[in-house]
Structure 1
Amino acid sequence: MIILPQSIAHVQQLIQPGENYYLVGGAVRDALLNKCNNDLDIICPGGTQKIARRLADQTSGAFYILDKERNTSRVIINESNGDRIVFDFTQLRGGSLEADLRERDFTINAMAVNLTDPVHVIDPLKGGRDLLEKWLRPCSGSSFRDDPLRVIRAIRYSVALDLKMESSTIQELKETVVNLDQISKERKRDEFFKILGRGKTSVSVQLLHSFGILPFLGIENLTNFAKVLQRLRVLDSFMSYLGNDSSLLKRDYFQLASFISGLGKQRKNLSNYLAQPNNSYRTRKDLDHLGAFLWDTSHVDECEVFKKLALSNDESTHLYILLKNRNWLHEFVENGGVLDNRIIFQYFKRLGDAGLDLALLTLADTASVVTAELNHDLWLLELEVCGRLIETWFEHPEVVDPKMLLSGTDLLIEFGLTPGPLIGQLLENLREEQAAGEVLTRQEALDWVEEKKLK
C-alpha cells in the first residue's frame, strides 16, 4: 500500500460516493520514493471549481482559476507547521484515465492513485519499474515536441533522481532544444529555478550547457565556465551545511571546515533567511545560486538575463546589487581593510539585507579554486570579515539600524533649523555616529548636533 501525503486527506473528505478522483504525477512518484511533495496534482471526473472551492473554504486556503478553458483550478493552503501545500485540479483528458496518463511527460510521472481506494498504483506505462531501474523515459515519441519545456525538465529529473536516458531519448531531446524559443519566458524561468539550489546544481548546469539550452534562458557568453561550475559546487556545499543536509559535504574540505567554524553560530539564522520566499515563492537561496551563476557577468548595467528570465523588479534589483558590488569585499580584504562598526553600518546602509548574500557569495567565489591553489591567509581573512558582517546583522541591530535618538522635530525646536535636506542628512550622520559607538545618549546626540551646527 502506498503512503500518500497527509494533506491529501483534505480532499478525500470532500469526495462523494461514486466519485473517482485521482492523485497523479510527481506526488505519486515521490510517495514511492518516500519523499515529501507538497505539489499535489489531482484529476477530476468533471469540473474542478466546485471541489476546489470547497477545499479552499474548508481549509481557509486561497482559490484560483488557472485556466478556465482547460478547466484547471488551484488551491494553496498554508499548514500550521509552516508548509505550503499546492493542490492543482485538472479535468480528465482523453476520455479515460489511461489516455490522460499517456499524455504526460515521463513514465515516472504517469502513475495515479484512486483517492477513494488508495491501495494500488495505476501504472499503465510501467513508470514504477522505470523508477526502480533508474530510467527516464518519455511517455510517447512526441513528448518533447508536444511541450519543448520537457527538455529542461528531463535534465532536472535525471540529475535529481539519478536517472539515465536511452540514446533515442537523448537524440529527441537534442532535436527539440531549438523549439524552446516557442516557450514563454515565465515557464522557462520557473523550470530553471527548480534546478537552481536543489543540490547538484553544477551537474544540471553542465548538462544545460552541453545540450545548448542556456542561450534559450538568456544566458550567453559566460567567461570561465569551469569557475562557474566550481562556484556552484562550493555554494551547494555551503547551503547543504546551512540546511543541515550532509549529502553534498564531500569536497573542498579545508574551505568547508573553516566555513563551518567561522559561521556555525549563525547557521540557523542564515538558513531561515535563505529559505524566505518572495512574492513569487522564489527564495533567497534560489536567487543566490543565480547570482553565483552570473557572478562574472560583464556590463552589469546592461544585463539582459533579468528580462529574459522575467524576474520581478525586486529580484532584478537584488541581483543587480550583488553583481555591482561583487568585488567590494574581495578588495576590502586584499587592501588590508579593518572592519569596524562604522564600516559595517555603511555596508548594510548601502546594500540592505543583500549584504548577507554578498558575504556568502564572496566566500563561495574565493573558495571556488582547488585547495592547492587557495590563498589560505586571504580566505581566512575574508571568512573573518564576512562572519562578523553576518553576525552583526543578526545579533547587533544597534549597529545595523540604530534607533533615532533625535527626531527631525527635535532639530527644528532645539536648534532653530529650517526644514530641508540638511535635517535628513544630520539625522543619518547621527545614526552613523551611534552605530560607531561615538554617541550613546540623547544628550550626547544634542551635543554632537550642536558641534556640527557650529562648524
Structure 2
Amino acid sequence: MEEDKLITLLSRDDIRLLAQLATDCRVEVYLVGGGVRDLLLDRPSQDLDFALDGECAELPRRFAVAAGGTFFWLDEVRRHGRVVLGRGEGRMSYDFVLLQGGTIEQDLLLRDFTINALALLVVPAGDGIIDLQSGMADLQRGIIRTCSPRTFADDPVRLVRAFRFAATLGFTLADSTRDEIPHNAHLLEQVAAERVRDELFRILDVPASLPFIRQLAATGLLPRIVGTGYTGAIAPSFDRMGALEQLLAELERHFPADHGQLAGYLEYQVEDGITVHSLLKMSAFTGSVGSEKVAALAVKLRLGNRSRRVLQQLCRPQLPVGLLLPPELQTSRAMYRLFRDESPAGLALVLLALAGGVVTREAARRFVGYYCREYDAEGDDLYLTGAAIMTLLGTGPGPHVGAAAARLREAESRGMINSRGEAEEFLRKNQLTKPAPLG
C-alpha cells in the first residue's frame, strides 16, 4: 500500500517536471514533512515542502517558469523559496529550502514532531521513506510526539502547534510531550503574536475544537494566548463553546432547507486564515465582554480590522434588538435591517442566539430562511428617501435630514416602523416637535 502511494506521487506531472529539472541541476531533492505525512494518511495536500542537497538557487525559479507558476523568496539568505501554481481550490504551493544540518538525517532530527520527521528522496528516486524516529508508527497510532528535548525551545510556537496537529488530524499528544508543555509555556512569550494567532484559529476551525481548547487551558497556554481576562470564568466559556459546537454539528437538522448556505457562510474568510466559523467559536468562548475588552484581545492576537469588527459584533453585552423582536414584528423589513446593519455577522448572531437559548429554533429558521432566500444587501433602503424626508419636514438639505434618516433606520431595525405611513407618522411625532427617545 505504501509503495503504491509513492508510485502515484512520483508519477504526477508536477513531480516529474521537478525531478527532470533537479536532475539537470545535479541536486538531490527530498520531499519532507507534511507532504509525506499526508501522503501516508491519504490526505490531500496543497502544500509540499522540499529539502535540497546541493546549491542551485535557480531550481525553484526554473520550476515556476516551466510549470507556469509564480516564484518568490521567503528568505533569500537561507535560500528558502516558494512556487505557487494555480488559484483558488486548485492552488498548489511548493517550498524549497537547503538541508538544515548538512544531511537529511540531521535535517530530520531538527524537525518538530516525529510524524513530520519523514522524508522521501525524489531525485534520484529513493527506495522508500526515511524514518529515523518511528514517525510512521506514531502516524498509525495517532500520536503527536516531539522529536527531541529541544523541540519547544528551538521554536516555542510548537507548543500550540502540537494541539493544532492533534485537532486537525484527530490525534492525541504523547504523555511525554504533554508533560513537557507546562514547563515550557513561558517560552510562548518569545513568539510573534501572529504565529500564535494562526495556530489558535486553525484549532478553532476544527468542528470539535473544545477538547483541545480545554487542553490549552490545562497546560497553561491559553492565558498566555488570549490573556488572563478571558480565563477566569472558564467553565461558562467551555459550556458556551460546547453548546455552539453541538448546534453547528447539527445544522442540517436545525435548518434542513438552508444548511448548505449556512455552511458556506461559516467558511467565509473574514481575513486570511480567519473564518466566520472560527470567530464565532472565539466569541462563544469569550462571552459578552464589550468592545473595549474585544479591542484589547484583538491587539493581543494581532487581528485585522475586519476580524475585530466581527468579534465586537458577536461579543457585545446585548444582542441586536432586531433579533429579539416578537414574531409579529419579525417582518421582512425588520430582518433586512438586522442583516444589513450587522453585516457580515448577522447569521452568526442568529446562531449564537440559538445556541444560547435566547431565540427559538422557529425564530432562527425564520431569520436564516429570509437571509438565504430573500435578503438583498443592495436592496431598498429607508421607507422614506432623503427627498421625501425634506418634503415632510418642509426644509432643504442639511445635517438634520441625515439625523432624521438615522432615527428612521434605528426605528425600522427595532420593528417600530413597517410601512411608509408609519415612517411619516414617526417623523411627525419625533422630528416636527422635539427629539424623543426610542424605546
TM bucket normalised to smaller: 0.7 to 0.9
Secondary structure of 1:22's counterpart equals strand
Please name the residue that 1:88 is paired with: 95
Once the two structures are TM-superposed, the CA of residue 110 in structure 1 deviates from its matched residue by 0.5
Indicate whether 1:307 and 2:299 are aligned: yes
Once the two structures are TM-superposed, the CA of residue 101 in structure 1 deviates from its matched residue by 1.0
1:393-428 residue CA offsets vs partner (Å, 9 max, x unmatched): 221135883279997689999x99644345556778
- Identify which of 298, 310, 320 aligns with 1:318: 310
Measure, in 2, the Cα distance between the counterparts of 1:71 and 1:213: 33
Please name the residue that 2:365 is paired with: 387
Residue 276 and residue 324 in structure 1: after superposition, are their counterparts in 2 closer, same or farther (change >3 A)?
same
| Letter aligned with residue 131 of structure 2 | D
Residue 47 and residue 282 in structure 1: after superposition, are their counterparts in 2 closer, same or farther (change >3 A)?
farther
Please name the residue that 1:72 is paired with: 80
Once the two structures are TM-superposed, the CA of residue 281 in structure 1 deviates from its matched residue by 2.9
1:338-357 residue CA offsets vs partner (Å, 9 max, x unmatched): 41223213322321221111
Residue 238 and residue 75 in structure 1: after superposition, are their counterparts in 2 closer, same or farther (change >3 A)?
farther
Please name the residue that 2:380 is paired with: 402
Overall identity of the aligned pairs, in %? 28
Please name the residue that 2:146 is paired with: 138
Task: Compute the TM-score of the two structures, normalised by the length of structure 1.
Answer: 0.78
Secondary structure of 1:198's counterpart equals coil
Secondary structure of 2:82's counterpart equals strand
Secondary structure of 2:105's counterpart equals helix
Please name the residue that 1:213 is paired with: 221
Please name the residue that 2:263 is paired with: 271
Residue 88 and residue 430 in structure 1: after superposition, are their counterparts in 2 closer, same or farther (change >3 A)?
same
CA contact (8 A) 1:110 1:123 kept: yes
Once the two structures are TM-superposed, the CA of residue 24 in structure 1 deviates from its matched residue by 1.3
Please name the residue that 2:398 is paired with: 420
- More off after superposition, 109-118 vs 46-55: 46-55
- The aligned runs of 1:425-444 (5 Å cut-off) are 438=419
Mark the runs of 5 or more structure 1 residues left unpaired by the alignment: 243-259, 367-377
CA contact (8 A) 2:53 2:103 kept: no
CA contact (8 A) 1:300 1:320 kept: yes
Please name the residue that 1:157 is paired with: 165
Measure, in 2, the Cα distance between the counterparts of 1:7 and 1:312: 42
Residue 192 and residue 421 in structure 1: after superposition, are their counterparts in 2 closer, same or farther (change >3 A)?
same
Measure, in 2, the Cα distance between the counterparts of 1:64 and 1:110: 26
Residue 159 and residue 344 in structure 1: after superposition, are their counterparts in 2 closer, same or farther (change >3 A)?
closer
Measure, in 2, the Cα distance between the counterparts of 1:383 and 1:162: 31
Please name the residue that 2:437 is paired with: none
Once the two structures are TM-superposed, the CA of residue 359 in structure 1 deviates from its matched residue by 0.9
| Letter aligned with residue 106 of structure 1 | F
Once the two structures are TM-superposed, the CA of residue 308 in structure 1 deviates from its matched residue by 0.7
Please name the residue that 2:435 is paired with: none
CA contact (8 A) 2:323 2:338 kept: no
- Identify which of 339, 347, 350 aligns with 1:356: 347
CA contact (8 A) 2:383 2:419 kept: no
- Identify which of 276, 290, 294 aligns with 1:284: 276
| Letter aligned with residue 281 of structure 1 | G
| Letter aligned with residue 235 of structure 2 | A
Please name the residue that 1:10 is paired with: 14
Measure, in 2, the Cα distance between the counterparts of 1:318 and 1:430: 21
Please name the residue that 2:119 is paired with: 112
Once the two structures are TM-superposed, the CA of residue 68 in structure 1 deviates from its matched residue by 2.6
Secondary structure of 1:69's counterpart equals coil
Measure, in 2, the Cα distance between the counterparts of 1:42 and 1:136: 22
| Letter aligned with residue 359 of structure 1 | V
Secondary structure of 1:21's counterpart equals strand
Between the two proteins, the alignment pairs up a number of residues equal to 418
